[in-house]
Amino acid sequence: MAVIHSSEYQKTVEFHPPIETGKDIYYGVELEVELASAMDEDVDTEDIVDACSDPERSECYPFAELICTAEDVCGDDFFYCKTDGSLKCGLEICSEPATLEYHMTKWDAVCAKLSMGGFISDTRTCGMHVHVDRRSLHQMDLIKLALIVYAKQYKWFFEAIGQRKWNEFCGGAVPEKKKVDDWGSLKTRYVALNFRPQLTIEFRFFQGTLFPDSIKARIEFIELLIKFCKSTNICKIVSDNALSIFRSYLEKNASKNLITYVENCLKVVNYVD
């Protein structure tokens, strides 16, 4: 079985921990990484997949480096690797769906393996995407999330938190469809908040990173943003001080790691152009 799958690959996943009460929110993470020494190669994604089953090619550069790291990462069944057409010569590291608490235990080892394998994630081509299981979201939750994420006056905040300017991979186009049910029919998935997936919604505005504390903080940020929208009246969501209300909510409910992350993002906005 190939250790690196095509971008269309759909794994039959397990939920961690198994779904019991229906109260937990489950997140799947996609982290894009590039092989630093091969950024000028622009390797075809089909060649990467084919090399996995070709003994000769699998031992040649850069395929050997990609396969070796993929095997290392996939030693933990929680992760699997795919190709991605937006990358020059890299991998998309995908997690199975899990609760915030479960994710907290998983990213340190993987980030260390990727760094040791010569991979980077702070390039313009690399992003980090967080999928949220739709079963934990109601229609009004989706409306509130879209209203606050796509509010023009708050774009700077979400760019800062994501450590990335919104570009062609995660543009900030506001859904023009009038009904929530129609948002999934948008022509592109390359938006900050993607409603096209059938089973999830996808937050796409994060820059790639190999700092595990940043990955953990971002997943927690999404969880608190969702909980804030669930618990806050829509009148406050559309008010002029919605961001101030949300930031107060963060200060009261966030972990020390997330508070530090947000403070650093707002202090030094280090966008990757």
Ordered DSSP codes for 198-217: SSEEEEEEEEP---HHHHHH
218, pLDDT greater than 70 = yes
Give the residue-averaged pLDDT of 255-273. Answer: 83
Give the residue-averaged pLDDT of 9-31. Answer: 93
At residue 183, the pLDDT reads 57
Residue 243: count of CB within 10 angstroms of its CB: 16
* Structure-block tokens of residue 162: 């994501």
Q: Which residues make Cβ contacts (< 8 Å) with residue 114, sequence separation at least 6?
A: 33, 69, 73, 93, 121, 210
Q: What are phi and psi for residue 103, nearest 5 degrees? A: -60, -30
Distance between CA 95 and CA 219 in Å, rounded?
Answer: 12
| H helical segments located in the chain | 45-51, 63-73, 100-103, 107-116, 139-149, 155-162, 212-231, 234-237, 242-253, 256-267
pLDDT in tens, 79-107: 999 999 999 999 999 999 999 999 999 99
Start-to-end CA distance of the chain, whole Å, equals 37
pLDDT in tens, 165-177: 888 777 765 555 5
Give the residue-averaged pLDDT of 52-60. Answer: 93
Query: Which of 73, 42, 52, 72 has the alpha carbon at shortest distance from 5?
Result: 52
Q: Which residues of 195-230 are buried (b: 16+ CB within 10 A; e: fewer)?
A: beeeebbbbbbbbbbbebebbbbbbbbbbbbbebbe
Q: Answer for the pair 212, 122: CB distance below 8 angstroms, yes or no.
A: no
* Structure-block tokens of residue 44: 């075809």
Q: How wide is the angle at C-alpha 140 spanned by C-alphas 137 and 146, nearest 5°?
A: 90
At residue 250, the pLDDT reads 97
